[in-house]
Structure 1
Amino acid sequence: MAIYFVGDIQGCYNELDALLNQVGFSSNSDQLYVAGDLVARGPNSLETLRFIKSLGKNAKIVLGNHDLHLLAVYQGIKKVKKQDLLTTLLAAPDAASLMQWLIQQPLIQKLPNEETYMSHAGLSPQWTPKVAMEQAEIAHQHLTSSASQTWLRNMYGEQPTSWQNANDDLERFRFTINSLTRMRYCHADGSLDFNCKESPASAPKTLTPWFEFQHISQHTQWIFGHWAALMGKCQPENIYALDTGCVWGQHMTMLRWHDKKIFIEQSHKNQR
């Protein structure tokens, strides 16, 4: 059995399929870990969800910000963004079952028997992996509860930016969603910044990428997506950035875990 991690698919199903063929992925014996943002701005979000769902327990997914927004759109909380290509998905006859499956997915995945984690955006400098796992599970319980619509409606917003200022269940939930699905940069105290999306070379000196806070021990591995501007480059070596901007015309990245080999598939955008 081989374990593969893939960065943001964003509805680029053809590139995902080509990558899986490239590595000889077996849907019966291999496992595919998907670092969130399965859907949105690529042309084949419906096919992507159907395929990942068909893998059953051999697919391990975390929710990204685009996945959560899709769930809010489906429940009538938000409108589809103009740049999102979700019309076919939302009109599909199996949309309800796909949405029910999607909302059941967690915010963090941990590999069994090792300190290896995956979330869409990363790990807040104000958290340990243990705290992150606890808060991710609480958020998961909220999203899958009978009050799911209320929690989805209230996940939007940028406050609080600091875990220390999260004073009630709603604020802790919103901080959890933001840190695990939207975070890129933090201020010196570890609080979240939502304005800068540039590469570290172009960012203001007052901001630090979340992974440079040295809050993840060298014995722990963290895999994330979300940040295409990094193009897979980040330090330290036990942190892996997998969003390489396939939907923007760059390429999709897959990591084979046992030997850390990287596979890429160039975007098919110019072929469409």
Structure 2
Amino acid sequence: MSTYAIGDIQGCYEPFRRLLDKIHFDPVKDTLWIAGDLVNRGPGSLEVMRFLFSIRDSVIAVLGNHDLHLLGVAYANRKPGKQDTLTDILLADDREELLTWLRHLKIMHSDAKLGYAMTHAGIPPQWSLTEAAGYARELEAALRSDQFPVFLKDMYGNQPDCWHESLSGTDRLRIITNYFTRMRFCRADGTLDLITKDSANEAPEGFIPWFAHPHRKTVNDQILFGHWAALEGKTDTPQVYALDTGCVWGGQLTAMRLEDKQIFSCGCDDV
């Protein structure tokens, strides 16, 4: 019995299945953790969704920004982007079953026995693991409520750019969303830069990668995240594991076996 954590699949179905073959994944006895962005940009988003749904009892996945965008397009009249590859899902006969499953995925997952927490983009430096779990539950509740289309309509935007406990309503949910699904660079107080997508050593002035803050509250916790392909799987930070290695951009799809931290990779064009 093994647990494998995989970074952003983003609709790269064939490399995903090759990676599962490489690690000899068995859904009967193994568990698959996925760090968000199951869909979009790659050519097989519908196939990824259908496959994961078929083995859902063996899958623990958190939502990424592309997954939330799919829900926004499907339920909140959000205009698709020019590079989106979501049409097959939106037109599928089983779309409601798949999208309902997607909407009920987690924002954050933690496992005390294995000793890891996973979100799509990370955890801002001013939040402890316990605090982050509570804020994740707030966002999950909004997505699972009958009013979820209202949230999806309002979730887009870069403001507010810093957390404060007094935030409420749309502002509160939006910044929680941005921390968990869009964050890369921030200040020590959590102020976000949501424009820069470069590598860790190309931070805008006054900002550093969220995981590099020396006094972040999760410095003693093991954190898995995706989202940041420019890191190429490297954080140079103990106990922080970057899983997005840019498969959809011609890089690798990567899995980490959590029990021993062994890394397995499959190139996007590997045969």
The answer, yes or no, to whether TM exceeds 0.5 is yes
SS at match of 2:254: strand
1:125 aligns with 125
Letter in 2 for 1:266: G
Aligned counterparts, 1:98-113, within 5 A: 98-113=98-113
CA contact (8 A) 2:203 2:209 kept: no
CA contact (8 A) 2:163 2:190 kept: no
Distance 2:205 2:40 in 1: 32
Shift of residue 85 of structure 1?
1.1
Distance 1:114 1:2 in 2: 11
SS at match of 1:140: helix
Instruction: Give the TM-score of the pair, scaled to structure 2.
Output: 0.95
Letter in 1 for 2:202: S
Letter in 2 for 1:132: A
Distance 2:119 2:76 in 1: 26
Distance 1:98 1:47 in 2: 11
Instruction: Give the TM-score of the pair, scaled to structure 1.
Output: 0.95
Aligned counterparts, 1:22-171, within 5 A: 22-164=22-164, 167-171=167-171
Divergent runs of 4+, >6 A: none
Shift of residue 114 of structure 1?
4.5
What do you get for the CA RMSD once the two structures are aligned?
1.6
Asked if 1:268 corresponds to 2:261, the answer is no
Shift of residue 76 of structure 1?
4.0
What are the superposed Cα offsets for residues 77-126 of structure 1, whole Å, 9 maximum, x if unpaired?
Answer: 20111101111121111111100100000100112435410000000112
**Unaligned stretches of 5+ in structure 1?**
none
**Unaligned stretches of 5+ in structure 2?**
none
Shift of residue 217 of structure 1?
4.5
Deviates more, 1:24-33 or 1:185-194: 185-194
2:244 aligns with 243
2:2 aligns with 2
Counting matched residue pairs gives 270
Deviates more, 1:181-190 or 1:199-208: 199-208
Distance 1:184 1:242 in 2: 14
CA contact (8 A) 2:76 2:150 kept: no
CA contact (8 A) 2:185 2:210 kept: yes
Shift of residue 237 of structure 1?
1.9
SS at match of 2:177: helix
